[in-house]
Structure 1
Amino acid sequence: MTVQPTYVSSLPGVNRPAPARPSLSRGGARVRRVAMLSVHTSPLHQPGTGDAGGMNVYVLELARRLACLGTEVDVFTRRTSLELPEVVEAAPGVRVRHVAAGPPGPLAKERLPALLPAFAEQVVRAGREDGRGRYDVVHSHYWLSGQAGREIAQRWDVPLVHTMHTMAKVKNAALAEGDTPEPLIRVLGEMGLADTADRLIANTAAEQGELVRHYGAQTERTAVVHPGVCLDNFRPLDGRAAARRRLGLPAGALVVLFAGRIQPLKAPDVLLHAVAELLRLRPGLRGRLLVPVIGGLSGAGAAYPDRCRRLAEELGVADSVSFRPPVRQADLADWYRAADVLTVPSHSESFGLVALEAQACGTPVLAAAVGGLPVAVRDGVTGLMVQGHDPAAYARALCRFADDPRWVGQLGLAAVRHAAGFGWEACARATERVYAETRTARWAARHLVGAAAS
């Protein structure tokens, strides 16, 4: 990548003496150690509960694959229990480090901004006391981590790479009915990151465009890196019938799956209304239709899962819908394999990892055409995309899945091929290049400043 002057004009420490030139590898400065920040949720938490979701999977899988490529990763997260050890080896070359910041218990995200200075101070201290050498890059995930990351990267005098995962302006523009808008403090924090982070990683070209359009990010300071899927875990294995036997599901059922946090953003209510309309259009499915909703409550929306249960009863579909707790990744793969279709009717998704996981298992996807989902799902090839959130549109699409099992099988075969192009190793290699290019850009800026000063 050509280094642009605007790319490095606002880098912290640019007026300090230029360091010795780093060794170069794969198009940039070799990165040996990375400090990842995930303040509000640990990569060790169960996805589908509280604030844990696709980002947790992303951080842990990316860290594992980076370690396989020779880059050590420490993931710093806020300590939520005194019983947690300070350091957990999550995989060879990957450590999760629990940082004391605020009371050692779960806290609402709204209370976390006040704790970020303490979090940053503790991470800086841990880095100073660590005997493995300095970190080459700070990679922060989500806006809260980014705020701490700005301070940490400046104190360590290293580049800051940031991944938004979701953006307040985008979420607020597609707010679900009854959902709470993202606060101004988050909007301002993300705007600051767009202006000062050395590099912003976007999941898709569409997200890159949103960074530029909504936050004024410079295109040359952004990079597109698609998330991956664990192809060792998420794969067709021994087929739908075997998966249903393991889960105790009827062989002849039509299984319409939802997997994710139970919150307005993910729109399980849209699915419930669609199921009611589907049974009106195809009354013969009554008794054969199964709709497992796998996931837990999220954040402050503790009452929302109960609202969904009441809605299922009011719509007359409670006999078809079963609400189930989150499951381990290995078990989730079996649920994907057992389903005829995964539904992702979200109002906003930066990418939608569940869609990719299901396809890797051979299950087509019915998804809203929002965010990164049109990249994760190939409309008409590996699933169907729906414009908007009209339950009747989802019901009509579900009729196609109910009426044509052979077509569903064709979609599933194409889905496996499609998902095979999204392994985590490809994501890690692309991220590694971003790290290297960012360090090289910083070195080049300092070299130019040093030459000008002399």
Structure 2
Amino acid sequence: MRIAMVSGHASPLAAPGGVDAGGQNVYVARLTEELAKRGHDVTVYTRRDAPDLPDRVPLPGGAVVEHVPAGPPVSVPKDELLPHMPAFGAHLARAWARDRPDVVHAHFWMSGTASQLGTGPLGVPLVQTFHTLGAVERRHEGVRDTSPYERVGIERHLGRTCEGVLATSTDEVVELGRMGVPARRIRVVPGGVDTEHFHPAADTGGTPERRLRHRLLACGRLVRRKGYDQAVRVLAHLPDTELLVAGGPPAGTVETDAEARRLTDIAHRAGVADRVRLLGAVDPEDMPALLRSADLVVCTPVYEAFGLVPLEAMACGVPVLATDVGGHRDSLADGGTGRLVAPQNLEALAEAAHALLADERLRRQYGRNGRERVLRHYTWARVADGAEQAYRAPCPARPVPA
């Protein structure tokens, strides 16, 4: 099968952890790799964001990344890319007229707009994964939401007119229903984890030095909605416990990041600055060892469409304490692989963290359960199974007019 992946702002070649580089980059990279291993011909189309990038980059598994000229060849925040989508779509239309794919899988709403421009003249089926929805971001971010005004309407149109929508969680299915996307057009295909890379084997070195009895670890893009401030504040209720935060710019420059400065200020005001370490970007090769060094991985966003960090922690046999939002409700088994608590409820977070840190036997059991859970449900092979089913049997219903 000839599969065109469109991921305009999130290249599979980018290292996760930057402002606009996170779970979507990993999802596209790993799904592409798994599909290529199965013999599919996969090309990933992503925007050229540097002038010296080659037109095409072969990936080790046999897929190819194609850099699309759309807008200036420099890094542009994703929320400013909409004006460049017509050029992106025109490039796709030309490329696909020469070499027609069997299916197009678009990632994020702007990739969907470009993909519809590219598929329109050809009748190629389009499958859409939003990864996160504008209506949800607007609800939680309010005036801090920087998405273009048109986003919610465009997502509604995409959901109603493409051949199928792949939701990453059951929570997203509900949100898509509110947008008027018929349930029969939606399949749940969650994120996954590389269980060979992330595993619970004993470490031989390379983890940061342990200085305190307990360690909490938070990982991901260094942005406000990830709720790292809650993880910082909870330390005031947890003596003899440190917090490491992995993500953001390189370690040597993390102190210049606005969110890093905000978290540092919060730590000083809470009297826990000596127990908070902002690591900055961590090499992906070092992440499993870092996860295994933690007694507890904390994931405290105010909302999360899916979230790969809980899966990576569970694959390493580490229990997870997470907010009861979005994809966490699917990936985590509350009371089985960790705990779920209400978002922005510091008292509940502190109570759950204290109980888990006080019970090593329970943490170990949660860790074993977590590893079993990801092996059953969240390998990239399982993700590729779901994607293949969607590609081969797109919903036959006629598109619903916007």
State if a TM-score over 0.5 links the two structures: yes
Corresponding residue for residue 245 of structure 2: 293
Give unpaired runs (5+ residues) of structure 1: 1-31, 280-284, 446-454
Look up the equivalent residue of 1:145 and give its one-letter code. S
Note the alpha carbon deviations across 1:137-158, whole angstroms, 9 max, x for none. 1110011101111111113320
The answer to whether the aligner puts 1:78 opposite 2:47 as a matched pair is: yes
Corresponding residue for residue 415 of structure 1: 370
Look up the equivalent residue of 2:170 and give its one-letter code. A
1:125 to 80, 94, 106: 94
Which 4+ stretches in 1 moved above 4 angstroms? none
Whether the 8 Å contact between 2:79 and 2:146 is mirrored in structure 1 is: no
The correspondence of residues 54-453 of structure 1 with structure 2, limited to 5 A, is: 54-129=23-98, 133-175=99-141, 179-180=144-145, 182-213=147-178, 215-238=179-202, 242=203, 245-250=205-210, 253-279=213-239, 285=240, 289-296=241-248, 303-421=258-376, 422-438=378-394, 441=396
Look up the equivalent residue of 2:81 and give its one-letter code. L
Q: CA deviation at 1:330?
A: 2.1
Q: CA deviation at 1:251?
A: 7.3
Percent identity reads 36
Look up the equivalent residue of 2:156 and give its one-letter code. M
Whether the 8 Å contact between 1:39 and 1:145 is mirrored in structure 2 is: yes
Q: Point out which structure has higher relative CO (alpha carbons under 8 A, 6+ apart).
A: 1
Q: Tell me, in whole angstroms, the C-alpha distance in 2 between the residues paired with 1:387 and 1:248.
A: 30
Between Structure 1 and Structure 2, how many residues are aligned? 393
Q: Tell me, in whole angstroms, the C-alpha distance in 1 between the residues paired with 2:310 and 2:332.
A: 7
- More displaced, 327-336 or 377-386? 327-336
Corresponding residue for residue 448 of structure 1: none
Note the alpha carbon deviations across 1:266-312, whole angstroms, 9 max, x for none. 11111111112333xxxxx1xxx221100116xxx952221111211
Tell me the secondary structure at the aligned position of residue 91 of structure 1.
coil
Q: Tell me, in whole angstroms, the C-alpha distance in 2 between the residues paired with 1:310 and 1:234.
A: 33
RMSD of the alignment, in Å?
Answer: 2.1
Q: Tell me, in whole angstroms, the C-alpha distance in 2 between the residues paired with 1:276 and 1:168.
A: 34
Q: CA deviation at 1:345?
A: 0.6
Q: Tell me, in whole angstroms, the C-alpha distance in 2 between the residues paired with 1:320 and 1:56.
A: 31
Whether the 8 Å contact between 1:66 and 1:429 is mirrored in structure 2 is: no
Q: CA deviation at 1:252?
A: 5.9
Whether the 8 Å contact between 1:258 and 1:344 is mirrored in structure 2 is: yes
Give unpaired runs (5+ residues) of structure 2: 250-255
Q: Tell me, in whole angstroms, the C-alpha distance in 2 between the residues paired with 1:123 and 1:91.
A: 24
TM superposition score normalised by structure 1: 0.83
Q: Tell me, in whole angstroms, the C-alpha distance in 1 between the residues paired with 2:257 and 2:114.
A: 28
Q: Tell me, in whole angstroms, the C-alpha distance in 2 between the residues paired with 1:330 and 1:430.
A: 27
Note the alpha carbon deviations across 1:117-173, whole angstroms, 9 max, x for none. 0011122223345xxx42011110011101111111113320110001000111222
Structure (1 or 2) with the larger CA radius of gyration: 1
